[in-house]
Amino acid sequence: MGNPPDPNLPDPPSPSAPLGGGCLCGAVRFEITAPFLSAGYCHCTRCQRRTGTGSSANGRVPKPGFRLLQGSERLRAFKPPTGVPKLFCSSCGSALFSGDPFSDLEVAVRLGALDRDPAIRPQYRQFVDSAVCWEPIPGDDLPRYPGARGA
Ligand SMILES: [Zn+2]
Ligand SMILES: [Zn+2]
């Protein structure tokens, strides 16, 4: 299962080499102890609104490989009518991950919240139909999906 290890990437996160991450003010900290399942850019309007940028880079990790270390009292969730909750730090506003870290099967972590190389690179671009007009989509070879990946 999975792709062969990329020699240009460091070892993926593991229990013996956890990958830390957190918010801008430092109140919320978490760690990842399993390899990312996938990663990609999302150009949807929700990601634009919650980040203030043209797209958001996210990586999916299995829930057992995600652990909240501190700051659970600062976490707030925006729960859209459809889709998973989007969690952020209520002190500094940093977007951190989506999916309930206490119940969902996986968590989608914002790659910008990580302390170091996640040992995966974004593999696709989704919701390119709603990409912003002021930032052209880079001319990379990543597969592009007009809506949700796989939809
Ligand atoms: Zn914070
Ligand atoms: Zn999105």
Give the residue extent of every domain in the chain: 19-130
Please state the pTM of the whole predicted model.
Answer: 0.91
How many Å lie between the centroid of ligand 1 and the Cα of residue 35? 25
pLDDT digits (tens, 9 = 90+) for 26-67: 999 999 999 999 999 999 999 999 999 999 999 999 999 999
pLDDT digits (tens, 9 = 90+) for 95-106: 999 987 667 789
DSSP 69-103: EE-TTTEEEE--SSS--EEEETTT--EEEES-TTT
How many Å lie between the centroid of ligand 2 and the Cα of residue 117? 22
Nearest ligand to the CA atom of 21: 1
Instruction: Return the CATH number of the domain spanning residue range 19-130.
Output: 2.170.150.70
d(CA 104, CA 99): 6
d(CA 140, CA 128): 13
